[in-house]
């Protein structure tokens, strides 16, 4: 997770200090760009819904999917219109992961940005812990954590 750059492109630690002083939870914008991710997308979205940290928005950026992932994303956006937003490129084009994330960055309203790949899941306290670190360390502009890899869902298991 990292702080969102402001107008001059620099990261501002003032956002963290102000959020701490006001005793509020800063908004975290979660960006999930996806392309043909029907096998994993639902679980990724559900891992955001399961977060103990409550002040987040989830931007689901469709990179021109041709499978059922578009329907999955739209259904979650309809069920949670105050928290989950479906976004796509003009004419449902495939523009690539970087272009899709950039669209999300332009739309994001959060003071913090968190990237969740469509084939990943978060543990329930991920946002709580990372926002706490950013608030406690005003000079920090980025936080990351350990990744846990598993292959139980893989059809072609490799050891």
The predicted-structure confidence for 24-41, as pLDDT tens digits, reads as follows: 899 999 999 999 999 999
Q: Compare 157 and 24 and report the one with higher pLDDT.
A: 24
Range among 13-27, 45-59, 132-146 with highest mean pLDDT value: 45-59
CA distance 96 to 63: 6
Q: Count of residues for the chain?
A: 159
pLDDT for the residue numbered 17: 39
- Tens-place pLDDT, residues 137-146: 999 999 998 8
Q: Per-domain residue ranges for the chain?
A: 2-136
Asked if 107 and 83 touch (Cβ cutoff 8 Å), the reply is no
Asked if 110 and 123 touch (Cβ cutoff 8 Å), the reply is no
What CATH code is assigned to 2-136? 3.90.550.10
Kindly state the average pLDDT of the residues 7-15.
36
pTM equals: 0.83
How is residue 64 annotated by DSSP? S
pLDDT for the residue numbered 149: 82
Is the pLDDT at 158 greater than 60, yes or no?
no
pLDDT for the residue numbered 145: 85
């Amino acid at each position: 997770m990292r702080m969102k750059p402001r107008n001059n492109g620099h990261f501002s630690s003032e956002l963290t200090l102000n959020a701490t002083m006001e005793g509020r939870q800063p908004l975290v914008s979660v960006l999930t760009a996806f392309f043909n991710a029907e096998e994993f997308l639902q679980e990724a979205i559900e891992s955001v819904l399961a977060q103990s940290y409550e002040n987040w928005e989830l931007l689901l950026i469709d990179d021109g999917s041709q499978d059922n992932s578009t329907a999955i994303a739209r259904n979650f956006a309809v069920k949670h219109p105050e928290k989950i937003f479906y976004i796509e490129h003009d004419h449902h084009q495939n523009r690539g992961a970087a272009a899709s994330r950039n669209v999300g960055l332009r739309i994001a309203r959060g003071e913090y940005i968190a990237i969740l790949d469509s084939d990943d899941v978060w543990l329930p306290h991920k946002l709580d812990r990372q926002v706490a670190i950013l608030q406690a360390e005003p000079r920090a502009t980025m936080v990351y954590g350990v990744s846990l890899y598993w292959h139980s869902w893989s059809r072609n298991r490799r050891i």
